[in-house]
Structure 1
Amino acid sequence: MKVTSLIATRLLSTVPTVLLATVVVFLLIRLIPGDPANAIAGEYATPERLAEIRSQLGLDLSLPMQYLTWLGGVLTGDLGVSFMTGQGVAGLILERLPVTLALTTMGLLVAVIVGLPTGILSASRAGGRLDRFLTTGATLGLAIPNFWLGMVLILVFSVVLGWLPGPGGPLFSDDPVGALRAALLPAVALGLVGGAEICRQVRSAMVEDLSSDHVRTHRAKGLPWRRILWLHSLKNSSLPFLTIVGLQISRLLSAAVVVETVFGLSGLGTLIVTSTNQREYLIVQGVVLVMALLVIFTNLLVDILYRVIDPRIR
C-alpha cells in the first residue's frame, strides 16, 4: 500500500473515533454539578429569569437536540459563546492553545533529551553499577508528581537563584520570547517525569535487542560496539521508542492542566479550571474536545510512522 493511500485510509478511520469523542465530551460535561443559568443570573434570580436564560442558551432543549446543535457548530468552527464574557469560545481557545502546545513540545523535547541517551547508556551497561543507578533514578522520577517538582523548581531557580521567572507569563501572541522563557521551568517539570519513562522503555527494548543473534553476528564480524549500539540496535528499538513518545504526548497534555495552574500560565489548563469553576459548559466542552482531537491525531501520526518505518506492519 502506498503511503498516500495509507494516510487517506487512516484519516477516514479516525472519523468514527472523532464522532465518539464529541459524544463522550458532551455527555461528561453534563455530569458537572451546577446550573449555568444560576451562575449567570445570580443566587437570587427569579424562576422566570432562569427560564429565559436557559432558553437563550438552548438548555431547555432535549439532550439529543443540544448535542446536534453543538455538533453542527463544531463542524463549522463555531464552538459557541462564553456565558460570562460573551467572547467566542473558539477565539478563547486559539488564544490559549499556543501556550499549551509550546509547553507540551518543550516538555517532550526535555523528555527525549533526558530519556533517550540515559536509556541507551543504561542498556549498554546492563547489570552494572551505572545501569542500576540510572534505573533507580528513572524509577524515582516516575514517582515524583509534576506539580511537586514544579514547586521545587520555582523555589530553587526563581526564588533562591533568580535565574528564571516565577509563576505567570505573557500570552504567546503578545510576547513569544517571554512566553517561551516562562514555559522553560514548567517544561522541565513535565519533561523530567516523561524522560524517566522513556529511559526505562528504551533500556528494556535495547537490552532485549542487544542479546539477539544479529548483534552477536555483528560483533563476530568485528563491527565497533558504538556502531552496533547507535546504528543497528537503536534502529531496531525505534518502534518501542516511537510508541512511548506518542503516549508521552497524551500524558503531557493532561499533565499540562495541573502544571499550568502551578506556574500561572495562560494556557488551556488554566482556562479549563476557571471555566469549570464558573460552570462555563461550552468552554470546557471546547477545550476537552480540542485536547481529545490532539490525542487522536497524535496516535494517528504514530500509527502512520509505524508503517513508514517498518513496511512489514503494512
Structure 2
Amino acid sequence: MQRRLPPLENIQAFIEAARGPNFRAAAERCAISPAAFSRRLQALASQFDRVLFERTSDGLRLTEAGARCLRELEPAYLELRRAARAAVGDDVEQTEVRLSLSHSLAVGWLIPRLGDLGAVAPDIRLSFDTIRDDSALRRGAVDLAVCFSDTDFSGLTSRALITVSGTPVASPQVAARFRANPDLSAFPRLAVSVPLNIWDWWTDQAGLTRLAATTRFDVMQAAYEAAAQGMGVVLGALPTVQPYLDDGRLVELGLPWLKYPGEYRLAATSAGRRRRSVATVWSWLETQAANTPTAYFGKASRSRSDNLYPAIAARSSARVAAPSA
C-alpha cells in the first residue's frame, strides 16, 4: 500500500519549528495557535513514526531522525513554494535572489557594490544572510553561497571567486608609533576566532618569529573597528579591509601583502543555477570579483616594507599579486 503524503501545513510547521527559537515563535510565523501548532507536529511525527524533537536542558532540539527529515523536506518545501508562486505569475519570487556569505565579506565587499547591481539588473531583488558556510544553500534557504575553499562543495556547482591577501594594518596613530619602533611584538595584535592561527600564518610566510593574537573577535569588522580605535595591530585582509584603507581609518605598516592559501568560492545547486535571476547574479558577482584588487595600491601604500624589513620584501615580492585588470 502506498504511504500517504503528509499535509503541507504539517511540513511547514515542522520546518518553522526547526528554525526556532521556540515553538511559540514558530506558531506565530504560521499564524496559528500554539495548540494547533503542536497538533500539526504530533501528526507529522505520528505519520513518520519518528521522534522529531527531544527535550534538553537548553530546550527542544532536533533528534537525529528529525535532522534527517529537515535535510530532505526543507529544500523540497521551498522549491514547491517557489514553483507555486511562479505558476501564478508572482514576479517577486522569480526575481528575488538569496545569497549567503560571511559578515565581513558582506560589509567590506558586497554592500559597497550593490548600486552597480541595481544599474545592471534593476528587476532583481537581492537579499542575503551572513552565514560563512554552505548550510543555508544545502537546505534551500538561499540560492547562492560564497564560502571559503575549505568547504565541502560536493554535489554543488562552484567556481573560484576571490583570492585573499593580508598585511598588518593599524590606525594612523599606532602606525606612526610602529615606524618609530618597527617591532610587531611590542604592539597588541588583534585577530578573529576563525581562522584561529592567522598571525602564525602571516609571520611564517614573512619569515618572522611567530606572534600569537592578544585579542580575538568573532567577526572581522569588529577587529577592524578596534584597530581603527587604536587598540592595536590587525592583520588586514583584502578585500574586506579595503574600505578602511580607502578612507584612511587604517593604514599599512609598510609590510608585505601575502596571499592566503585558498580562496572564496561561489556555489549554487545545479537546479538553482539554471534560474535566470540566479544566473544574472552569478555573472554579476563574477564581474565584481574580476575587478577586485588582490593587493592594495592606494595612497597608504607609499610606505613600503623595503625600508623596515628588506629581507621580507625580497622574499615576498613574488607572493604579492597584482590587481586584476
TM-score higher than 0.5 here?
no
Q: Higher helix share goes to which structure?
A: 1
TM-score normalised per structure 1: 0.25
> Which structure's residues are more often strand, by fraction?
2
Q: Which structure has more RCO (C-alpha within 8 Å, separation ≥ 6)?
A: 1
